[in-house]
A and B are shown apart, each in its own frame.
Chain A
């Protein structure tokens, strides 16, 4: 279980950054957006989501402020910082390279 989380940690960070490109979102919003973006493949649980959010906030990639949700609840809304946007570009490029490489590797052996 632990090792799976580790494997996905980089992915999760990237997905969170990606989910915030259009608008600030609160925790549940981010989880829902990720599920939507991945067509339900990733269902991020609170136990992974919050550590990741706080880690990204610590690193200055995310910023947050409290605001009201659609359902009139006081929630913490996360948004990308300038540093976060830059990091997102870098990670996206990395991920594409890896994905293409993996695609080649797996395609050629089969």
Chain B
């Protein structure tokens, strides 16, 4: 109602009404009272007796309260005042029936809390944009070659340079790759994670240094030794001292100058922990061919350029390059940076969000059914208020205020639950609180509206008489709720069952090695102190065979020292350990000496590794044919290689691979053994073809040490550190991890999803069972007289029990069928999360159905048995 009179006077009234509500009410009351009194006066003056005059007047005027209510309704801020008084009234009602209130609030707290928890993760991961200006324009770009199964291949440096100079779609394009530095100048030696990036990356992200400056394109081109520190490293290693600026650091034995520190708020998009940023420098080798696919490329799209337009533009460049250099790829892939970062998590989170939605629906159904029960208890009170002149809308609003209030208190408790659930997982911020408030109000209305409408349709006679329970539409409504709850609980149980079965199956898969009892550690030797071939740390063209007679044998000596220690069973080292994200991991074309060579760019690719003699033994990777490496496979002997059986099957169909020769880096190597395949990238990925070279014939500066022992992990870690320090006091060891932990990490996401989904399914089942129990108890109460009469007429107790459970069974079974249909539809969406289990797996669906039926019927049998125990006389006597 827009005031046409004067906004000022309306506002003044609003203030008066809100703050002087009591006085204004009193004024209104005496105004109306005077009106009535004057009418009475008139009637007395006309000759009626005072008593009769008053009675007649009141009959004419009607309910003074109703008039007051209507008049109050037109006043400014009436709604606000009404909500205030409704809330006070609701609180009074909640205190009066506090068992109900506690049950309702706990139920809602569980439902809303679960939603708050999952939403805060969804919000943090899926909804929030990356923390950069106009982050929606950030994209990642890869090479692509679907013909050889490469959907997203890292980018070769010359390709990146061509893309950068020739594209028309990017404001700026940048490239980066990870590297590692041993910081060895002051204090404990420490291995630093570094990101080598083009200076343009800062422009792409739109960031600059927090102190000092970032490096320039000029410095990058000259290959100046400058670094920018992360805020974390600056604090941890240098105590946040400003004097670090301009200081020289010894990284991998070379002096680098610190030119700046990034702000504390800055983190690189992909979330990997980084300590320093250094300029991206290419070797001459890298720039002469397009074989070395090592770069991640990130770009900022020009305004209004779409991902499709960018793909087309860069693809055109790639297609010009490919015919001239087959080591390049003919196609490219472009995707939004945020989409790429969350794509692994997206489906799981959506499923979980759906699951908590179901839990909340069940919680709503439970509270609604409680309210329906209470509605019949409160019928007298409602009828009384209606008789006193409260309109239907007014009553509905009052009842809805009560349910929304319940939901809001439940939500507050839920947020506390969510916070304790999440601690580390996600933050509860303004967006989450907004979501929770919205969810609470919606929830309150959702579960409150039907009971409120029902309760607010009173029969006036209810005000005075004792309500005799009858089997009414309300009962049918309650059974509708039971059916719905059972159906939802079943869908959740089915989803959780599938997720758990899939997780179990995943864990049962053979990784191809035995992780238990093995500890791994990273040792990266700085080229400056181990100058065998400074280029060796840079794959692949840099890694040239060691042919001279004085190779560094650091790892050999390390193994010898460790093996001598008590409790250590065996020790090995490899260039890239399965399940471990750190390591020198790349693939090479497989070329067999004497076989027809496929066209360049179309050869089978196999992962390339270097391992020490006892690596396979330590990891318990089985030897299938031929022999393992020995001490004699060294610089002076025949170049050899071992392949895994995946590669053997793919390339030597019906032939014996032993004795065949592979051409690697232009040099023939004899295959001396075939080992079992490992799932290098985790349970969900199939084993890849691999070629392994002996460390004594081909050396990398960075290796992962593996130690199998029966002693405690921390003791092994100590032993490794001690042995490394005894060989080289300046040499850091990092990422000391049990391989079993790496295994657990690799399934962390499916485990998280399975665990949460399982938890929600249990919660849903408990709520549904409580719901069934509540409704059946109430029904038994309502039918007490009928049951008593039946028993008087000779019904046996078992018959009564069966009758009640049978009644429940009808609704439960209907619910189960609806739930099964729903589950078949809904679990299909989970296909991408499942492994080794069909989304429609009949065993899982049927067992979920069985669990739901058994628990629901068990819940209904309690009130049924109680009903059968009643003594008819006690029930029938009071009336």
Residues of A within 8 A of B (CB): 26-28, 45-47, 50-51, 53-61, 69, 71, 73-76, 83, 87
Contact A59 B3 (CB under 8 A): yes
Residues of A with C-beta under 8 A to B70? 47, 50-51
Q: With an 8 A cutoff between CB atoms, is B554 at the interface?
A: no
Contact B37 A55 (CB under 8 A): no
Docked pose: A12 CA to B184 CA in angstroms? 93
Q: With an 8 A cutoff between CB atoms, is B67 at the interface?
A: yes
Q: With an 8 A cutoff between CB atoms, is B272 at the interface?
A: no
A47: contacting residue among B3, B30, B66, B76, CB under 8 A: B66
- CB proximity to A under 8 Å, residues B41-83: 41, 61-62, 66-68, 70-71, 73-76
A26-B34 contact given A50-B70, A54-B75, A76-B27, CB 8 Å threshold: yes
Q: With an 8 A cutoff between CB atoms, is B9 at the interface?
A: yes
Residues of B with C-beta under 8 A to A26? 34-35, 38
Residues of A with C-beta under 8 A to B76? 58
Residues of B with C-beta under 8 A to A57? 13
Docked pose: A53 CA to B35 CA in angstroms? 13
Least distance between A54 CB and chain B CB atoms (Å): 5
8 closest cross-chain pairs (CB), A and B = A59-B5, A60-B9, A60-B5, A55-B74, A50-B71, A60-B6, A27-B35, A75-B34
Least distance between A36 CB and chain B CB atoms (Å): 15
Sample of 16 A–B contacts (CB below 8 Å): A26-B34, A26-B35, A46-B62, A46-B67, A47-B70, A50-B32, A50-B35, A50-B68, A51-B70, A51-B71, A51-B74, A57-B13, A58-B10, A58-B13, A69-B38, A83-B5
Least distance between B14 CB and chain A CB atoms (Å): 9
A50: contacting residue among B3, B6, B39, B67, CB under 8 A: B67
B5: contacting residue among A45, A53, A61, A76, CB under 8 A: A61
Q: With an 8 A cutoff between CB atoms, is B28 at the interface?
A: yes
Residues of B with C-beta under 8 A to A51? 67, 70-71, 73-74
> Which residue of A51, A57, A73, A83 has the most chain B CB atoms within 10 A of its CB atom?
A51
Contact B35 A28 (CB under 8 A): yes
Contact A59 B6 (CB under 8 A): yes
Docked pose: A59 CA to B221 CA in angstroms? 76
Docked pose: A55 CA to B5 CA in angstroms? 10
Contact B62 A73 (CB under 8 A): no
Q: With an 8 A cutoff between CB atoms, is B31 at the interface?
A: yes
Residues of B with C-beta under 8 A to A69? 34, 38
Residues of A with C-beta under 8 A to B61? 45-47
Docked pose: A84 CA to B35 CA in angstroms? 23
Residues of B within 8 A of A (CB): 3-6, 8-10, 13, 27-28, 30-32, 34-39, 41, 61-62, 66-68, 70-71, 73-76
Docked pose: A56 CA to B68 CA in angstroms? 16
* Beta-carbon nearest neighbor of A71 in chain B: B41
Contact A76 B67 (CB under 8 A): no
B28: contacting residue among A54, A60, A61, CB under 8 A: A54
Docked pose: A76 CA to B149 CA in angstroms? 90
Residues of A with C-beta under 8 A to B36? 46
A71-B38 contact given A54-B71, A54-B75, CB 8 Å threshold: yes
Residues of A with C-beta under 8 A to B8? 60
* Beta-carbon nearest neighbor of B14 in chain A: A58
A76: contacting residue among B9, B31, B71, B75, CB under 8 A: B31
A46-B28 contact given A51-B74, A55-B74, A59-B10, CB 8 Å threshold: no
Contact A60 B10 (CB under 8 A): yes
Least distance between A6 CB and chain B CB atoms (Å): 13
Least distance between A24 CB and chain B CB atoms (Å): 14
Contact A58 B35 (CB under 8 A): no
Contact B38 A50 (CB under 8 A): no
Contact A58 B39 (CB under 8 A): no
DSSP majority for the B interface? helix
Residues of A with C-beta under 8 A to B66? 47
Least distance between A47 CB and chain B CB atoms (Å): 5
Contact B34 A74 (CB under 8 A): yes
* Beta-carbon nearest neighbor of B27 in chain A: A76
* Beta-carbon nearest neighbor of B24 in chain A: A54
Docked pose: A58 CA to B10 CA in angstroms? 6
Residues of A with C-beta under 8 A to B75? 54, 58
Residues of A with C-beta under 8 A to B31? 27, 50, 75-76
* Beta-carbon nearest neighbor of B6 in chain A: A60
> Which residue of A50, A73, A75, A76 has the most chain B CB atoms within 10 A of its CB atom?
A50
* Beta-carbon nearest neighbor of A64 in chain B: B31
Contact A73 B34 (CB under 8 A): yes
Docked pose: A5 CA to B806 CA in angstroms? 54
Residues of B with C-beta under 8 A to A83? 5-6, 9
Docked pose: A59 CA to B8 CA in angstroms? 9
Docked pose: A56 CA to B6 CA in angstroms? 11
Least distance between A29 CB and chain B CB atoms (Å): 9
Contact A58 B28 (CB under 8 A): no
Least distance between B20 CB and chain A CB atoms (Å): 14
Contact A73 B5 (CB under 8 A): no
Docked pose: A56 CA to B32 CA in angstroms? 16
Least distance between A75 CB and chain B CB atoms (Å): 5
A58-B67 contact given A28-B38, A83-B6, A87-B5, CB 8 Å threshold: no
Docked pose: A19 CA to B71 CA in angstroms? 20
Docked pose: A56 CA to B76 CA in angstroms? 11
Residues of B with C-beta under 8 A to A47? 61-62, 66-67, 70
Instruction: Identify 20 new A-B residue pairs, CB closer than 8 A, beyond the known A28-B35, A46-B61.
Output: A27-B31, A28-B34, A28-B39, A45-B61, A46-B32, A46-B62, A50-B28, A50-B31, A54-B74, A55-B74, A58-B75, A58-B76, A59-B6, A60-B10, A73-B34, A73-B41, A74-B30, A74-B34, A75-B34, A75-B38
A59: contacting residue among B4, B35, B37, B73, CB under 8 A: B4
> Which residue of B8, B38, B62 has the most chain A CB atoms within 10 A of its CB atom?
B38
Docked pose: A46 CA to B36 CA in angstroms? 9
Docked pose: A73 CA to B31 CA in angstroms? 11
Residues of A with C-beta under 8 A to B4? 59, 87
* Beta-carbon nearest neighbor of A90 in chain B: B4
* Beta-carbon nearest neighbor of A62 in chain B: B5
Docked pose: A73 CA to B67 CA in angstroms? 21
Residues of B with C-beta under 8 A to A75? 31, 34, 38
* Beta-carbon nearest neighbor of B5 in chain A: A59
Least distance between B800 CB and chain A CB atoms (Å): 50
Residues of A with C-beta under 8 A to B37? 73
Least distance between B170 CB and chain A CB atoms (Å): 62
Docked pose: A56 CA to B738 CA in angstroms? 81
Docked pose: A76 CA to B28 CA in angstroms? 9
Least distance between B27 CB and chain A CB atoms (Å): 7
> Which residue of A27, A56, A58 has the most chain B CB atoms within 10 A of its CB atom?
A58
Docked pose: A78 CA to B225 CA in angstroms? 89
Docked pose: A45 CA to B32 CA in angstroms? 12
Docked pose: A61 CA to B13 CA in angstroms? 13
B9: contacting residue among A27, A50, A58, A73, CB under 8 A: A58
Docked pose: A69 CA to B30 CA in angstroms? 14
Residues of B with C-beta under 8 A to A46? 32, 35-36, 61-62, 67
Docked pose: A61 CA to B6 CA in angstroms? 9
Contact A76 B34 (CB under 8 A): yes
Least distance between B184 CB and chain A CB atoms (Å): 81
Docked pose: A72 CA to B37 CA in angstroms? 11
Least distance between B15 CB and chain A CB atoms (Å): 12
Least distance between B1 CB and chain A CB atoms (Å): 8
Least distance between A1 CB and chain B CB atoms (Å): 12
Residues of B with C-beta under 8 A to A28? 34-35, 38-39
Residues of A with C-beta under 8 A to B71? 50-51, 53-54
